[in-house]
Amino acid sequence: MSELAQAGIVATFLSILRRELKLTFRRRQQWLNPLFFFVIVVTLFPMGVGPSAQILSVIAPGVIWVAALLAMLLSLDTLFTSEYRDGTLEQFILGSQPLSIIVLAKVAAHWIVSALPLVVLSPLLGLLMHLEARALPGLLASLVLGTVTLSLLGAIGAGLTVGLRYGSVLVAVLVMPLYVPVLIFGSSVVANASSGQPIEAQLWLLAALAMLSITLAPWAIAASLRVAVAAD
């Protein structure tokens, strides 16, 4: 690929990313709802299971990771909906720029507004759940790597179900089996860090899943959107 073509792809990615961030920040509900959901789910657990620090510290890794996963699912339904309804998605498909680059920029914007706030708040919620302080770096690292994979895998399901009446339910059904390995590795990172055990193996696995998703998922998302638009 020539340098000119590479520069064009980078310019397209940055242009779409800026556009999506501006649009998303105008729609406050779109990025505030997952954040509020994440906070509410985690903060309700101490009320439900009791104030015992020992119990809360044991369940904290699973609670935080499950809450983050469900919050990510909550925000996937609208990922391509507006472009589908106003015809922009068809223009993306018919345009000269690679659709995979466009969807990668959209997913990157989705991660910034939906996942990054969860990552930033997770240490505070971890302390609320009496998580060991030494586990907080592992919590942050696992959520950064894991939510990247969750966003990309979820976007495949969102692409397949765009325009469908009960798309949000179908997205959950489609992507939940793919989310399970990320959930297992992510929560095990936090649990091992809390107990002083090594976490490098799980982090490397999460990093490998993230890199694999970044490499392959944009092509799958683009294909799923083409199928959805063609079937309309």
Kindly report whether the global pTM for this prediction surpasses the value 0.85. yes
Terminal Cα distance for the chain, rounded: 34
pLDDT in the model for residue 90: 83
Cα 88 to Cα 97: distance, rounded to the nearest angstrom:
13
pLDDT 10s digits, 203-224: 999 999 999 999 999 999 999 8
CA dist list (Å): 111 to 53, 114, 117, 118, 150: 32, 5, 9, 10, 9
Tens-digit pLDDT profile for the chain (232 aa)?
Answer: 556 556 667 888 888 888 888 887 777 766 788 889 999 999 988 888 877 888 888 899 999 999 999 998 888 877 887 778 777 788 888 877 888 888 999 999 889 988 999 999 999 999 989 898 899 999 999 999 999 999 999 999 888 888 676 666 778 788 888 899 999 999 999 999 988 899 999 999 999 999 999 999 999 999 988 887 776 6
95: left (phi over 0), alpha (psi -120 to 50) or beta: beta
Q: What is the pLDDT of residues 83-116, one digit of tens each?
A: 787 777 888 888 778 888 889 999 998 899 889 9
* Mean pLDDT of the residues in the chain: 86
- The total domain count for the chain is 1
d(CA 232, CA 224): 12
Burial of residue 55 (number of CB atoms within 10 Å: 0-12, 13-18, 19+)? middle
Give the residue numbers spanning the domain of 44: 3-231
Q: Is 55 helix (H, G, I), strand (E, B) or coil?
A: helix
